[in-house]
Amino acid sequence: MTTVQNDLLERARDSVIIPVLVLDDPASAVPLALALRDAGLQMIEITLRTPGALAAIRAIRDAVPGLQVGAGTVTSPATVDAARAAGAQFAVSPGYTTALGRHCQALSFPLLPGAATATEVMVARDDGFDFLKFFPATACGGIGLLEALRGPFPDVSFCPTGGITAENAGDFLALGNVACVGGTWMAPRAAIRSQSWPEITALAAQALQLLRRPSGSPSA
């Protein structure tokens, strides 16, 4: 694993949770980021699913220091370039292609690529990616599949995303090959639209309190 990728893994382990955020209005970006930072979160993912996503990333980078901002739904070298230009500090992809991986490596830009099968894990690992997004987590086998993957791939760590909730996040995080979890429950889209920032801070703080590993406990 390269230094860039290892740094991404270590930050994710420290963060425990990476909120997956869909922003309809870029004006909500900074207050949302402040609400999550105030709860103690260290990393967030802004998905590139809305027209204002890049503007939201740029606004957060300018106004909220100390928060690692990633771009999600990155699927091509072109989207990597757009995310970097907006100020994203890492990229998250729902899947993996060698073209995407090599482009990020050439730029020394951290990438969390998606994988849902043993074959996909092998392809990404062969290209130097040992920290992977397990997506869609619950739809493609959940905890059972992650446990099965640990045997042949003891050197691979995962961030399960897709169907992760307050109720099951702890079960995923307890697995030895899970470094962190990703999800939307601590920042629901409805709460973002209604600008319920204290509610989001409370949800995120509660999630961290429940999921953060005690000092010295084993991690992926």
Mean confidence (pLDDT) of the chain: 95
Q: What does the pLDDT look like over 29-48, one tens digit per residue?
A: 999 999 999 999 999 999 99
Angle in degrees, 0-180, between the axes of helices 98-107 and 77-86, rounded to the nearest 10: 30
User: Cα–Cα distances in Å, from 68 out to 10, 24, 88, 116?
Assistant: 13, 20, 8, 25
194: CB partners within 8 A, 6+ apart: none
Query: For residue 1, what pLDDT band results from cuts at 50, 70 and 90?
Result: confident
Q: Which of 10, 120, 133, 147 is catalytic?
A: 133
Nearest residue to 114 via CA among 92, 130, 98: 92
Q: By percentage, how much of the chain surpasses pLDDT 70? A: 96
Q: Is 195 left (phi over 0), alpha (psi -120 to 50) or beta?
A: left
Burial of 172 (0-12, 13-18, 19+ CB in 10 A): buried
Asked if the model's pLDDT at residue 219 lies above 70, the reply is no
Query: What are the structural domains, with CATH classification, of the chain?
Result: 3-211 (3.20.20.70)
In this prediction, residue 212 carries a pLDDT of: 83
Q: What is the mean pLDDT of residues 177-188?
A: 96
pTM for this predicted structure? 0.94
199 in catalytic set: no
pLDDT tens by residue, 168-180: 999 999 999 999 9
Tell me, what's the pLDDT at 220?
39
Q: How far, CA to CA in Å, does 38 sit from each of 73, 109, 188?
A: 26, 27, 17
% of the chain with per-residue pLDDT over 90:
93
Rounded mean pLDDT, 41-68? 97
Q: Give strand pairing partners of 72.
A: 47
Distances in whole angstroms, Cα of residue 196 to Cα of each of 185, 190, 203: 14, 9, 11
**How many other CB atoms sit within 10 Å of the CB of residue 160?**
30
User: pLDDT value at position 111?
Assistant: 98
User: What is the enclosing helix (H) or strand (E) of 195?
Assistant: none
Q: Exactly one of 45, 120, 147, 167 is catalytic; which is it?
A: 45
133 is catalytic: yes
Which of 32, 43, 44 shows the shortest CA–CA distance to 189?
A: 32
DSSP bridge pairs for 46 = 21, 71
For residue range 72-90, list pLDDT tens digits in order. Answer: 999 999 999 999 999 999 9
